[in-house]
Chains A and B, each alone.
Chain A
Amino acid sequence: MTTHANPFPGGIHPAYHKDLTRGCETVSMPVPKILVIPMSQHLGAPAKVLVKKGDLVKAGQMIAEPGGFISAAVHASSSGKVTAIGPVELPNGSMGEAVTIETDGAHEWEKMEPIQNPFAADPKVLVERVKAAGIVGMGGATFPTHVKLTPPADSPVDWVMLNGAECEPYLTADHRVMLERADRIALGVKLIRHIMGVSKVSIGIEGNKADAIEVLKKAAGDLAEVVELPVKYPQGSEKQLIFAITGRRVPPKKLPSAVGVTVFNVATVVAIADAVIDGMPLVERVVTVTGSGVNKPGNFRVPVGTRVMDLMEFAGGYGDDAEQMILGGPMMGRAAASDNVPIIKGVGGVLVLTAADMKNTDFGVCIRCGRCLRACPNAQNPMLLGQLIEKGLFSRIDEEKLREIVLDDCFECGSCTFVCPNRRPLVQFFQMAKGYYRSQQKRKG
């Protein structure tokens, strides 16, 4: 099978720092005393709470059902008593409703029935199971997986892609999942082939994870081809990944299904297999704890809803000079104001940086050096757009159609900001502009 990969335009080569945790085997974290399980861990409508304050819940019990078509169920990660239901701070800095559980330490399970002989089962049953297990994309976008498994009839999918690129610096959670659970990934691939009726499955892995490529080649056999991807950020972004493996270009503002492709994160595939074979809902995930501000970097299997402070206590605590805590990777992750926030389904890493590692955020004017233009994976114009947004010249943006051409398609990978010699916060400008247009739309409609 071919392992040829197309390099996408732009991109950057940050320092990866993956050696910190690359070799750390995943350690299961014991269930903490308090679990804070938000209802909005996915893209789409928040889940609807099914329990009341004072209820006793079991591990794996569904505590909230999907709140709409694009939504996902939420389960208790351990057994215990519901002590509060109310708004808490979420990893993205906003407030959202969450169920707080005081665990009893017994960790009593209430799993779903495993599906016997799944390859003979109706794909619809399997999709129902994925929905019931509350599985969402675990690469960070947290799109409900059951929606992805059932593409609309007018855009059929002929090629499924597993995303093992893990192009974010520092993070190794997916890498460890691929090494440690290769058989489950193979099983998951088989299930997806059965559910979606596709024959072409590719697993894209960046070349800096040679051992994972080896292991998966062995495990996947004929089920999927393993493609070694060039090491370049943002290789793990859907559109770039699809181009690298298939050569197909997803048109601006279109979903991958427009070119007949669907992408799953490797950890998501494991969760699918777990849900079908073991009847286990998505209640835990692998999280990389790393960075210069932690005492002991490592990979941990963490119950969903664990507060970062509890995880850090188990993982060995902060270094003396920890200054910034980022949930996710350093390129697209969010800096949290406090560690009293829960780990949710889409958080793959806790990165703690010291003041020395932190980027100086004093920014200057654009000197038009054009580095951002060369770094942008979408071949767009961060430079001009950033200047216009900074000056509030939204009429110019409309006039030159920059919003349609540039802004709508920017997925905030941060490459432009990474290379800007005057450290202009371009991603921030784009987020602001997106917010501005959202509020404009709200006012109109």
Chain B
Amino acid sequence: MSILIPILVLTGVGVVAGLALAFFSRVFYVPEDPRVDQLEEALPGANCGACGFAGCRDYAKGLVARNGDVPPCPVGGQSTAEKVAAILGIAVSDVEEKVALVRCAGTRDRAAARGSMVGVRDCAAAALLGGPKSCRFGCMGLGDCGTVCPTKAITVYGGGVAVVDPALCIGCGLCVSKCPIDCIEMVPKGRRVHVLCNSRDPALVTRAACKVGCIACNLCTKKDPSFVVASNVAAFTGTTCDPEFCFACPNDVIVHTDRYEVLAFIESEEARTDYEAEKNEFKEKEKAARAAARPAREPKNAGGQP
């Protein structure tokens, strides 16, 4: 009998509390979509903010609120997009995975310096003073991009130019927004050919500032229409091209990543020597082909292949 009283007391209080809570949960009911939690689960969870939302949960809410009508998560790529689409019950849109590319090869020995700077420790500050190089579009090499990179994919090597390691890059795009001179571009992951110059100055100015600047000579566009020249600088829009086309560039601005990693192309002396040798070979071949073609009165050599 005596054991019953405490049991009753506890049960009674519990029932009262339970009923009160049930009542109040009606009064203060706030609807919440369970899909938000599912979506958050499906997202990479890097909370990098590259999508424009403040973290993955925010992005999930945005997805739910606009029923998927927001830019895809740049980090998660195709697989995440599929999961998101499954949860939301919408069709999968194709996501192009991208990686960052620093469009500059103007290392210290190639790009002219511009005065000496003191008291400057990062790109944002240096940009206010006009930058350490004569070229105002080139990488300043002070590494702001590297500090924001969540995967430490960007390093400034000895030459004073930041280089992205495509293997580490998750394509979040934070470096692009950080770079004060817009020297970094997101390029499709599969692209093999890159124009490593960002100078939108006219040819004369670019040439005075840097040995490896794009002077918009249009020689590359003649080789392959995937090259386009706009605002005084060339860009490659396709996926790949004949590696030899790159040798057409008089200032060695174009790299084919099947032949040379971007890093080696910019930093390694050896790769440079190899490149020079190959380029000379290519030029010889082209000259020979032209000589061979001339008697036949062919108007044009199609693409420099023998």
Residues of B close to A336: CB separation below 8 A: 115
Indicate if the CB atoms of B201 and A432 lie closer than 8 Å.
no
Nearest CB of B to A89, in Å: 7
Indicate if the CB atoms of A361 and B118 lie closer than 8 Å.
yes
Asked if B45 lies at the interface with its beta carbon under 8 angstroms from chain A, I say no
Residues of A close to B202: CB separation below 8 A: 86-87
Contact of A93 among B118, B125, B129, B201 (CB under 8 A): B129
Q: A86-B205, A443-B177 are in contact. Are A432 and B128 (CB under 8 A)?
A: yes
Q: Please report whether the interface of chain B is mostly helix, strand, loop or mixed according to DSSP.
A: loop
Residues of B close to A86: CB separation below 8 A: 202, 204-205
Indicate if the CB atoms of A428 and B128 lie closer than 8 Å.
yes
Residues of B close to A362: CB separation below 8 A: 119
CA distance A435 to B177 in the complex (A): 12
Which residues between 183 and 211 of chain A lie within 8 Å of chain B, taking CB atoms? none
Residues of A close to B118: CB separation below 8 A: 361
Asked if B14 lies at the interface with its beta carbon under 8 angstroms from chain A, I say no
Indicate if the CB atoms of B124 and A436 lie closer than 8 Å.
yes
* Nearest A-chain residue to B130, judged by Cβ: A93
CA distance A436 to B177 in the complex (A): 10
Residues of B close to A338: CB separation below 8 A: 114-115
Asked if A431 lies at the interface with its beta carbon under 8 angstroms from chain B, I say yes
Indicate if the CB atoms of A363 and B119 lie closer than 8 Å.
yes
CA distance A345 to B176 in the complex (A): 36
Asked if B95 lies at the interface with its beta carbon under 8 angstroms from chain A, I say no
CA distance A46 to B178 in the complex (A): 27
Residues of A close to B124: CB separation below 8 A: 432, 435-436
Indicate if the CB atoms of B129 and A335 lie closer than 8 Å.
yes
Asked if B138 lies at the interface with its beta carbon under 8 angstroms from chain A, I say no
Interface size on B, residues (CB 8 A): 17
Nearest CB of B to A395, in Å: 9
CA distance A361 to B136 in the complex (A): 24
Residues of B close to A94: CB separation below 8 A: 130, 136
* Nearest B-chain residue to A335, judged by Cβ: B129
Nearest CB of B to A366, in Å: 16
Which residues between 124 and 145 of chain B lie within 8 Å of chain A, taking CB atoms? 124-125, 127-130, 136
CA distance A93 to B114 in the complex (A): 10
Which residues between 156 and 175 of chain A lie within 8 Å of chain B, taking CB atoms? none
Nearest CB of A to B274, in Å: 35
Residues of B close to A425: CB separation below 8 A: 119, 125
* Nearest B-chain residue to A444, judged by Cβ: B52
Nearest CB of A to B216, in Å: 14
Indicate if the CB atoms of B128 and A431 lie closer than 8 Å.
yes
Nearest CB of B to A28, in Å: 30
Asked if B180 lies at the interface with its beta carbon under 8 angstroms from chain A, I say yes
- Indicate with 1 or 0, residue by residue over A409-445, a CB within 8 angstroms of chain B CB atoms: 0000000000000000100100110011001000100
Residues of B close to A92: CB separation below 8 A: 130
Indicate if the CB atoms of A337 and B125 lie closer than 8 Å.
no
Nearest CB of B to A12, in Å: 20
Nearest CB of A to B71, in Å: 13
Asked if A255 lies at the interface with its beta carbon under 8 angstroms from chain B, I say no
Residues of B close to A335: CB separation below 8 A: 129
Q: A94-B130, A435-B127, A435-B128 are in contact. Are A87 and B205 (CB under 8 A)?
A: yes
Nearest CB of B to A143, in Å: 21
Indicate if the CB atoms of A95 and B136 lie closer than 8 Å.
yes
Nearest CB of A to B209, in Å: 10
Looking at B114, B129, B177, the one whose CB has the most chain A CB atoms below 10 A away is: B129
Indicate if the CB atoms of A87 and B201 lie closer than 8 Å.
yes
CA distance A93 to B132 in the complex (A): 11
* Nearest B-chain residue to A425, judged by Cβ: B119
Indicate if the CB atoms of A95 and B125 lie closer than 8 Å.
no
CA distance A218 to B202 in the complex (A): 55
Q: A95-B201, A337-B115, A361-B118 are in contact. Are A435 and B180 (CB under 8 A)?
A: yes
Residues of A close to B136: CB separation below 8 A: 94-95
Q: A95-B136, A436-B124 are in contact. Are A89 and B119 (CB under 8 A)?
A: no
* Nearest B-chain residue to A363, judged by Cβ: B119
Residues of A close to B205: CB separation below 8 A: 86-87, 95
Q: A86-B202, A87-B202, A425-B119 are in contact. Are A337 and B128 (CB under 8 A)?
A: no
Nearest CB of A to B147, in Å: 9
Indicate if the CB atoms of B125 and A428 lie closer than 8 Å.
yes
Nearest CB of A to B123, in Å: 10
Nearest CB of B to A158, in Å: 38
CA distance A431 to B129 in the complex (A): 10
- Indicate with 1 or 0, residue by residue over B203-224, a CB within 8 angstroms of chain A CB atoms: 0110000000000000000000
Residues of B close to A436: CB separation below 8 A: 124
Q: A95-B136, A435-B180 are in contact. Are A89 and B130 (CB under 8 A)?
A: yes
Contact of B130 among A337, A428, A431, A432 (CB under 8 A): A337
- Indicate with 1 or 0, residue by residue over A377-417, a CB within 8 angstroms of chain B CB atoms: 00000000000000000000000000000000000000000
CA distance A87 to B128 in the complex (A): 18
* Nearest B-chain residue to A429, judged by Cβ: B125
Which residues between 83 and 139 of chain A lie within 8 Å of chain B, taking CB atoms? 86-87, 89, 92-95
CA distance A362 to B119 in the complex (A): 6
Nearest CB of B to A88, in Å: 9
CA distance A443 to B49 in the complex (A): 14
* Nearest B-chain residue to A395, judged by Cβ: B54
Residues of B close to A87: CB separation below 8 A: 201-202, 205
Nearest CB of B to A397, in Å: 15
Nearest CB of A to B132, in Å: 9
Can you report 9 residue pairs joining A to B where beta carbons are below 8 Å apart? Answer: A86-B202, A86-B204, A87-B202, A93-B130, A362-B119, A428-B119, A428-B125, A432-B124, A432-B125
Q: Which residues of B contact A (CB under 8 A)?
A: 114-115, 118-119, 124-125, 127-130, 136, 177, 180, 201-202, 204-205
Q: Which residues of A contact B (CB under 8 A)?
A: 86-87, 89, 92-95, 335-338, 361-363, 425, 428, 431-432, 435-436, 439, 443
Q: Which 4 residue pairs are nearest across A and B when measured between Cβ atoms?
A: A361-B119, A93-B130, A337-B115, A432-B124
Name 12 extra pairs, CB < 8 A, besides A87-B202, A87-B205, A431-B128. A86-B204, A93-B129, A94-B130, A337-B129, A338-B115, A425-B125, A432-B124, A432-B125, A435-B124, A435-B128, A435-B180, A443-B177
